[in-house]
Amino acid sequence: RNAIPRESFAIVTVPGKNEKDFLACVKEMEAVYKKELATIDPDLKFEAVQTDKPAGLIDENTQQRLFNSVFACPNGVIRMSNDMKGLVETSTNLAIIKSENGEIAIQCLLRSSVDSAKEDLKNMFTSVFELAGNSNYSK
């Protein structure tokens, strides 16, 4: 459960008239990230393949709220230990985003050696998603 992701997938719908622009954008972003992450992820690749249209689509308003929420989420090391040099005290990662049956589920993994710091982190996530208009969440 505490691992760096090795892969990521997204299903994106693009009108046929925008397909070439979309593929060019994917290629451009791949070049940007390959350059930035060359030392830590030399095998990074982006791949765009044609697939069947999904049964359900997310409306634009919900998409924007989802993107804003994800970008606002705390991610990575939040605090280092005051007691032990080099030890991460509190960290988080955005683990999984899944859309099924008209619902979007986001799984965030929160870790801390200090209970109050973990509770604060949970409150940060709750605030981010409530500000975006999402009211259903679990611990």
Asked whether the predicted pLDDT for residue 118 surpasses 70, the reply is yes
Q: What percent of the chain has pLDDT over 90?
A: 47
Tell me the Ramachandran region of residue 70: left when phi exceeds 0, alpha when psi lies from -120 to 50, beta otherwise: alpha
C-alpha–C-alpha distance, residues 25 and 109, integer Å:
30
How much is the pLDDT for 107?
87
How many CB atoms lie under 10 A from the CB of residue 94? Answer: 17
C-alpha–C-alpha distance, residues 33 and 35, integer Å:
5
Average pLDDT, the chain: 88
Asked whether the predicted pLDDT for residue 2 surpasses 60, the reply is no
Q: For residues 61-73, give the mean pLDDT.
A: 90
Going by their DSSP bridges, the two strands 88-100 and 76-80 should be labelled as antiparallel
Asked whether the predicted pLDDT for residue 135 surpasses 70, the reply is no
Task: Report the predicted TM-score, pTM, of the whole model to 2 decimal places.
Answer: 0.74
How much is the pLDDT for 96?
85
